[in-house]
Amino acid sequence: MKAAADWVREEIGALAAYHVAPAAGLVKLDAMENPYRLPERVAEELGRHLAGVAMNRYPDPQAPRLKARLREAMAIPDGLEMVLGNGSDEILQMIAVALARPDATMLSLEPSFAMYRISAVCAGMKYAAVDLAPDFALDLPATLAAIARLRPALTWIAYPNNPTGNLFPRESVLAIVEAAPGLVVVDEAYYPFSGGASLVSEVGRHPNLVLVRTVSKLGLAGLRLGLAVGPRDWLGEFDKVRLPYNVNVLSAAAAEFLLERREVLEDQARAIVRERERLESGLDTLAGVRRFPSAANFVLARFPDGPAAFEGLRARGILVRNFHGSHPLLDHCLRLTVGTPDENARLLAALAQAIG
């Protein structure tokens, strides 16, 4: 009885780790990273700034300056509480751990972000999902019926959704918040590309609504910094689950510094949105390809043979994300992260060859 399988929880044994494909030598368009580096001048100033950080000290767990910068950058009202995470992935985990009473259920919509289910399983919550419609629209009647039947402790909604890229109607999300007996978390990871669509103005007006944001998709994925904002009674509990020094001093200092210069990142986000439109038009010229509308920094498309298109791209040096086989609604779908103009041109040319 000294084997891991005899002791590790069965549901963990059955879980597959979050999949990250090897990308060495490939054009990396699989993970919704901002393709742009910092301008050299900003990078050098940042280096000097970080050299002054006291790495012998633990971080200030309340991070007041960083929270103030985030509030300002994301227009978060003063009355709302904020909790920081090592990426928003850690926020998902904190919330799930805090709500994992025996028999508590997490509800999500599918297809959506894989970490919702993984965090539920790891925390010991039950997990249930309502399928989106075949065009990835939110099925509000089915979702409200599932809420009435399952009485979920926690409901996750990505706004815009990943991997489909669409933005659900605001009124439908609010109807879910009204109907849900437990907490509803709206995950706005793709806010920088959503044309301003956000539920931030609703937070604080509903007792069970919490908003999650991240700096990852804005161009700082490597820092690992996410945040939750919402009513004090919920966030005070999540703060007890948070490990005391979860955001390290270098990430906090770098984020503070860069949020003060956020026009650099915001210009990059605008360039990505313009490129998304070019990528969408390019996909529309390819015969047999169905491209879905996106409010994010990626585009989901269905190909006559998705796995063959994926392999054809990889053989031509381009890595995207293959969703074929992960959910029936995603048959033959690939998710293409928007890259630089040059990368997108290469992607479109390689696709034309791979499926031609």
Binding to ligand PLP (CB under 6 A) within 162-181 occurs at: 162
88 is a site residue for ligand PLP (CB under 6 A): yes
Q: Are 314 and 325 in contact (CB under 8 A)?
A: no
Site track for ligand PLP across 179-208, x = CB under 6 A:
--------x-x-------------------
| Rounded CA separation 242/67 (Å) | 16
Residue closer to ligand PLP, measured from CB, 169 or 207: 169
Minimum gap (Å) between residue 41 Cβ and ligand PLP: 26
Contact with ligand PLP (CB under 6 A) among 35, 59, 87, 231: 87
Minimum gap (Å) between residue 183 Cβ and ligand PLP: 16
226 is a site residue for ligand PLP (CB under 6 A): yes
Residue closer to ligand PLP, measured from CB, 242 or 346: 242
Site track for ligand PLP across 128-147, x = CB under 6 A:
--------------------
30 is a site residue for ligand PLP (CB under 6 A): no
Minimum gap (Å) between residue 156 Cβ and ligand PLP: 9
Residue closer to ligand PLP, measured from CB, 189 or 351: 189
Task: Output the six-digit token pair for 326.
Answer: 């992960």
Contact with ligand PLP (CB under 6 A) among 97, 221, 271, 345: 221
- Total residues interacting with ligand PLP, rule: CB under 6 A: 13
Contact with ligand PLP (CB under 6 A) among 143, 166, 216, 337: 216
Which residues lie near ligand PLP (CB under 6 A)? 32, 87-89, 113, 158, 162, 187, 189, 214, 216, 221, 226
